[in-house]
Structure 1
Amino acid sequence: MRDLTEFPGNATTNKSLSVIIKVCVVIPLFCVFLYCIAVMLHIFASHRQYLDSTRYILFAYMLINDTLQLLSSVLLFLFVMGQVKLYFVFCVPVLFFSTATFQNTPLILATMSLERYVAIFYPLQRPAAWCSDRIWVIILSLWLISCILPIVEYSIDVSDPAAVEILSRPVLCKPAFIKTSRIQALFKVGVYILFFAVVAVVILFTYVRILLETRKLRQDKTSVSKAMHTVLLHGFQLLLCVLAFTSPITESLIVLHANWLSEDIAFFNYFCFILTPRFLSPLIYGFRDQNLRGSILKTIFCCSDKVKPGKRGKIQDNLSAS
């Protein structure tokens, strides 16, 4: 009889310990990510040559988007871990930013691949929208597309009785509690398939075209080869984004081969397929670039990151060639 009375307390203690461990894993990694992003954004802001390059402007935009996506994602994670219930009006903005920034990521990757394509095939007659002082037009367009679709998604079936009930009571801030309609789920799946299919076609097209151009050119193969490798990296980043949709498969495999709790399976999918790709994607891209890697290491190790006058022109040439 004593064991039966102590079991609920032990279960509560184990659950609390599990929550503490999960939070202690996510928060330090998120802080490290924020520090690295802050270092890279500081480098962009303090070196004019980066702001004059369309490629680096788009990369800085990707860093800001990933930061907003992780910030909203970690905030939702803390709400769920703490069982914090919010009214619909407070929950929707966080979910909106999380969805919009998630959808914005593949669009940014497609844009960065197209920028490499334009830089290779139109080096002297680049369209005005792809110049560094006009790239904000494309960035604004990406934001509008990414924001319009979540608005449409959350507006579907707002007159449904279940949706009206959610509006009137506090709920856990999770997409499963907000998106109660099957039409919403189908719309979300359709949008994601369309996004990733279009981006995959764009990346494949630019990679093949640049690869063919590499075989034609007898000179300047180095810059074309760098552009080809950059587009290939964008394909890898897109693959990391697609991992977020493998959670049903991993859940089935874990249930078959391990006796995990449902919340532990959800955390495993969240950490491996949502957080980790967002952590790795900008860091891999940033440290891969030779010029940016040198500036990052100098800033992290508190070295002087001032560029000598004799080397400034050389760095500018490297930026334009890359």
Structure 2
Amino acid sequence: MANNSSLVDGESSRQNKINQVILAQGLVAVFLFINILQITTFFMKDFFYTTMRYILFANTLLSDSLFLIMTSISVILSYFRVASHMWWCLTLFALSSVCNFVTPVTLTAMTLERYVAICMPLRHGELCSTRSALHCIPIIYGISSGPVTIILLIFFASATRSLYKEYMICSAEVILLYTWQKHLRSAISQFYFLIMLITIVFSYVNIMKVAKAASGDDKKSTQKGLRTVVLHAFQLLLCLIQLWCPFIEAAVLQINSMLYSDIRYFNYITFMLAPRCLSPLIYGLRDEKFFLALRHYALCGLCKNKSPDFFI
């Protein structure tokens, strides 16, 4: 009887894992479809890929899409206990880590663009030109590569040669060989997010001052910019909470392995997938011009747009 009960529990646990993976991959597929549709819309009109805020938005979509693909592969391999070569794990870790930082760093750049547009309108054309946006992209990726570069350099300096030949379940714990490396990664990440949070708060306070002094159409535009900054701050908060997930999961793992699996799944949905679905909402649906273009191309031109400057 005990053996039968154990088999039933094992089968139930396996089925639960399969259902969780299917649901997660279903959500990822939906987000990827939306992102691809919005990226296609971005390249269909000159106005979008010559305007800084839309260029940064497209960069976020591309980074989020790559991050979703990388984390999906990692989740599938981890859930089904598929061992991979060490170099594959390193590549997966490096790409997902860079993309993980690109989103909040780009959000900070987009917040600064809104700050310049509202608080320094006369200099907006100069500071936020297409050329400035194209220069900004490699800077964003350079900044985002900082933490993973430090972690990988420490790994290469401390890992044995035999470790590179091994096959294992890919996870951050494979790369972070010592506890102090985990603390270092957390410290670097929190430093980054502290700088980004200060930048967003600074922008919010100054935009709020302009909002109080504005009137009419200017006030309406400023209030919209203020709401955008608030949404960026909320998105950044979700990314910041993600930093604490490994510590929570490690503590839960010592108590109950089943609970650990559920907590890890919850963290993945809430703090990895959720922030990535907010970007399309903030700029893809709230922005009137982009929404009109998105609706037009999504419906294959069947929906006539009322805006006279849509096709300019």
TM over 0.5: yes
Aligned mates of 2:109, 2:257 — CA distance in 1 = 43
1:197-236 mapped onto 2 (5 Å cutoff): 197-218=194-215, 220-236=218-234
Gap runs ≥5 in structure 2: none
Shift in alpha-carbon separation, 1:21–1:233, aligned structure 2, 3 A = same
Runs of 4+ in 1 over 4 A off after TM superposition: 248-255, 305-308
Name the stretch that deviates more: 8-17 or 84-93.
8-17
Q: Give the alignment of 1:109-148 within 5 angstroms.
A: 109-126=107-124, 128=126, 130-148=128-146
Q: CA deviation at 1:85?
A: 0.9
Shift of 1:225: 2.3
Q: What is the SS of the residue equivalent to 1:206? A: helix
SS of residue in 1 equivalent to 2:156: coil
Say whether 1:179 aligns with 2:176.
yes
Q: Deviations over 1:112-148 (max 9, x none)?
A: 0111111223333347552023311111111012123
The residue correspondences of 1:1-322 to structure 2 (distance < 5 A) are 3-126=1-124, 128=126, 130-160=128-158, 164-218=161-215, 220-247=218-245, 260-304=258-302, 311-312=308-309
Query: Helix, strand or coil for the counterpart of 1:229?
Result: helix
Aligned sequence identity (%): 27
Post-superposition Cα deviations, 1:225-259, rounded to whole Å, max 9, x if no partner, equal 2222221221121122123135368659989xx99
TM-score of the superposed pair, with normalisation by structure 1: 0.85
In the aligned structure 2, how far is the partner of 1:221 from the partner of 1:247?
40
In 1, the alpha carbon distance for the partners of 2:139 and 2:198 equals 20
Question: d(CA) in 1 for partners of 2:87 and 2:136?
Answer: 31
TM-score, normalised to structure 2, is: 0.88
Deviation of 1:176 after TM superposition, in Å, equals 1.1
CA-CA distance at 1:159 after TM superposition: 4.0
Letter of the 2:230 counterpart = L
Give the residue type in structure 2 aligned to 1:244: Q
Q: 1 CA distance for matches of 2:249 and 2:22?
A: 23
**Superposition deviation, residue 216 in structure 1:** 2.9
Alpha carbons 1:295, 1:305 under 8 Å: kept: no
Other structure's SS at 2:130 match: coil
Residues paired across the two proteins, number? 310
